[in-house]
Structure formats: C-alpha cells, structure tokens
Structure 1
Amino acid sequence: MREYVFTIHYKEGADDLMDLFIEWPSLHAIAISHASNETMWRLDYVTGKPEALDAFEALIADIAHCDAVIGDQLVVDREYEVILRDPQECVVYTRRPERDDARSVTSIINEYLGDGHLCQTDRRGNEYEWRILVDDERAVSDIYDRLHAGVRDGVSVELTKISDPTHWTNNIIRSGGLPPEQREAIEAAVELGYYEKPRQISAVNVADELGISQSTYQYRLNAAESWLAKQFVEHL
C-alpha cells in the first residue's frame, strides 16, 4: 500500500464553507468518508474557538453547496446530524445521495479504486487535504486528472505527497482538549522553527509574530507542551 495526498486549494469567495475556515484560523476539521455509486457518508471531527464552531454549525444548517463536490451544482438533498457538541469541538455525521451532476470527491476516488476504501481529510485555512491508501498506483493519475478537470473557478488541486502510510493509526491524539490559543502557540513554534536544532527563532519573536506578550505566549506554550506530553504517555 502507498499513501497519496491530494490538496485542494480554495481562493476566498470560491466556497462558503471554506471561506469560514479562512476567516477563522482556529477552525480545523478532520474527517473520514466513504462512498458507493449511490451514496456518500462522512464523519467530521471539528475543533476551534467557540465562536468559530457556532459559525460552522450555523452555516452547515443552511448551506446550499457541498465543498466536497466536484463541479458547481447545488446540493440540497442531504442529511446531517451534530452527534457531539462541546464548546471547542463537535462531531458531524453527513449522508447524501450521489448525482451525476454533483459527484463527491470520495465517489470519484471510489470510481477508480473500487468499493471498500476510506478517505481521510484535513481542512484548515484555504486547504482541504485528501489522504488515500492505494494499491493500484496507475489509478492515481486518473483520479488527479478527473479532479483537476472538474474543479470550479477559484479552486485548484495538486498531488502533494506520495509515501508509505503514516497517518492511519489508532493512537490518534484528539486535539479537542487543547484550547485554540494553546494550539496556535505550539503550531506557531513548530512552523517558525522554535523546535529546530539549532533553534531558528526565540519565544520572544514567536510571540511578536502572534501579536501577544512574551509572558502570555510562554504560558500558552508551556500549557500546550504539558498537555501533549500527558496525551502521549496515555497513548503509549
């Protein structure tokens, strides 16, 4: 098995739901989806600031276009249920029929790989990452061509990674218990090189990048590191 990652990029204004992820940087969604020729099912685990989750829940209740659909058709015949809702996380179940004029990304992948596969997705900012396991590498170029040909204005797709499977494990640390401010602190530290050897940036400069005081940043970073360490030990 090989792992392939497609990343779909959205310009602001191209999709209502992805616009919400762009507007709220704390919003993060991980999902598992499956599709047959007739139906698509998905389960989204969404985290973020309470205000971001309120906006997310309000939008999915009244959204006309499905962001996981190739093409520009409205999707109105769908059902969804919020099966878990906490201040900083929610889990959403979605089911909808497939249509010839509005095919989900999952069903297109299913068309080339056959029944029984799963897709794992990761949404943040303007990027929607699709991760699939493939045992027939010849199908990958066909999937990419189909997705590339079907995207609407303001949307682009690229093949961003090919590797051995890396993210398909039972020991997944759920980030819902980590407040968005602390997650932002540790993500910024990683992205800006705070944990590199040698260190590429100081905590003072990371705090400046985030527009907060050093003491506030150091508190959030220490709290995030403590939470992650405890989660890691629990999942050993």
Structure 2
Amino acid sequence: MRELTFAIEYDPGADPIMDVFAAYPSLTAHSLDGVIAADQFWRIERFSGPAAALSRIEEVRFDDDTCGEAITETRCGAARFHDTLERSTNGLVLYTHLDAIRGCESVHTLAGTHLPSGVIFQTRRRGSAHWWRLLMRSDDRIGVFYDDLSARLREGLSFRMGHLRDADGWRQESLAGTALSEPQERALRAAVAAGYYDPPRETTLDDIAADLGIPRSTLSYRLRRAESALLHGYVDDTTPDRWLE
C-alpha cells in the first residue's frame, strides 16, 4: 500500500467550515473518509472544542446551501445526508454522505476520478490548515491527481506537499482512537475508578495492585505504558504537521 500526504491552507473567508476553526483556535477535528465512486463519498468526522464552536459546525454542515467540499470556485451540487452520531459538552461526531456530486471538484472527486478504487482518507483540521493522508493500493496516476489538485485550487487556498511512500503508521489507534492492551486498560480503569488520578490522590499503587491481585511493579509498568500511549496519541492528534515529514 502507498501513502500520500499534503495540506491545504485556507485564507479567512475562503471556506465556511475552516472559518469556524479560524474563529476557535482550540477546535480540532479528525476524520476517516472513503470514496465510493467519483461522484460519491462518505465521512465520519470527530470534532473537539468549545460548545459554541461545535454548534456552529453543526449549523454549517446541516445547511444545504453551504458547500464545504469544493476546492474550486464552483459549489458542489449533490444529494447530501448528515447525521449527528454523538454530541457532548466538548465533542461532536458527524456522519456525512454525498451522492450524485456534480458541477464541482473536491479532493474526493479528483481522487475518485484519477486514483484506483478503494482510496481511504484520514484528515486533520486545526486553525487555517486541513491535513490529508491518502491510503492507496498503488500510486498509479498519482502525478495526474497531484497536478490536477494543486492547479485547480481557488483563490484563498494554498497547497503544501508532504510525501509519497509506502504506507506507515496506519495503526488501529490512527483510525479509532488510541488502542491499549487488555491488561493496560484493566489497570488504567482500576486506577481511575479508585481515584488514583484525582487531586487529592485517594489511593496508592499498592492498594490498586492488591485489588487486582498483581505485583505493584507490574501495575506501575502497565500504567506507564498506557499513559505513554494516550499521551502520544493526544500529541500526534494535535500536531498533524508531522504528516508532511
């Protein structure tokens, strides 16, 4: 499998979705997208940020008169379906399906036109940038896709190339959150339930290890591994520029 990465930067006022990110600097999003055909794709996107920013994202996404897909001057005509899968104080998960796309060009439609079928997209958004990773069976016609994409960007959008290489780092945690081993998760859940991470600390590692029936050293090791995985997952999520390296 091959991997292509790039980023598109947006000037203020150039895109209604990206304007929300510009207005709320702490707002972030990551998505998993799939192209079904040149005129059809789906996306699941998870947003994290202030409640006001999430409400604005929902307003823009559910407004059929607003297009957040086109990279050219022409607005996308399509049969749109959006649904809120999850909503919390600082989190939002949206499902999107666009069908019968016509009259516009987007990253998805250009990939559907030029690249082999079965392309998967992983994206990140923050501030003025939208980062993309494409997972492909091969890089046939990748030059045509790259030339078409970079040449067709409308005013206010700019392109930054990352890399083209064998796919790397598409772990489970990249697609569906950070993955912990069963012992690590059991240890972490026990520590959280016992109040180990609450100030003031309500328990000790000795107490939790005794409850789990394992040595203190084993518990400490599992917690360190779990904490490391979670912290790296968080930092990786908030520094998508690394994709371009």
TM-score, normalising length from structure 1? 0.68
2:70–2:106 CA contact under 8 A, matched in 1: yes
1:168 to 157, 163, 170: 170
Aligned partner letter, 2:162: T
Distance 1:67 1:59, change over 3 A: closer
SS in 2 for 1:69: coil
Between the aligned residues of both structures, percent identity stands at: 28
The count of corresponding residues between Structure 1 and Structure 2 is 183
Report which of the two structures shows the higher radius of gyration computed on alpha carbons.
2
1:86 to 85, 88, 95: 88
1:143 to 142, 145, 170: 145
| Structure 2 CA distance for aligned equivalents of residues 117 and 138 of structure 1 | 12
| Structure 1 CA distance for aligned equivalents of residues 230 and 166 of structure 2 | 23
Which residue of structure 1 aligns with residue 109 of structure 2? 107
Distance 1:158 1:142, change over 3 A: farther
Aligned partner letter, 1:28: T
In the TM superposition, residue 150 of structure 1 has moved relative to its aligned partner by 1.8
Q: Deviations over 1:164-216 (max 9, x none)?
A: 433411134749xxxxxxxxxxxxxxxxxxxxxxxxxxxxxxxxxxxxxxxxx
1:40–1:104 CA contact under 8 A, matched in 2: no
SS in 1 for 2:25: coil
Aligned partner letter, 2:227: A
Which residue of structure 1 aligns with residue 40 of structure 2? 39
| Structure 1 runs (4+) greater than 6 angstroms displaced | none
In the TM superposition, residue 162 of structure 1 has moved relative to its aligned partner by 3.3
Gap runs ≥5 in structure 1: 176-225
1:196-207 equivalences in 2 (<5 Å): none
| 2:12 paired with 1:30 | no
2:21–2:27 CA contact under 8 A, matched in 1: yes
1:1-236 equivalences in 2 (<5 Å): 1-35=1-35, 36-62=37-63, 64-75=65-76, 77-172=79-174, 174=177, 229=227, 232=230
In the TM superposition, residue 160 of structure 1 has moved relative to its aligned partner by 1.9
| Structure 1 CA distance for aligned equivalents of residues 164 and 39 of structure 2 | 29
| Structure 1 CA distance for aligned equivalents of residues 27 and 169 of structure 2 | 20
Please provide the CA RMSD for this pair: 2.6
Gap runs ≥5 in structure 2: 179-223, 234-245
| Structure 1 CA distance for aligned equivalents of residues 43 and 128 of structure 2 | 20
In the TM superposition, residue 146 of structure 1 has moved relative to its aligned partner by 0.8
| Structure 1 CA distance for aligned equivalents of residues 82 and 153 of structure 2 | 24
TM-score, normalising length from structure 2? 0.66
2:76–2:105 CA contact under 8 A, matched in 1: no
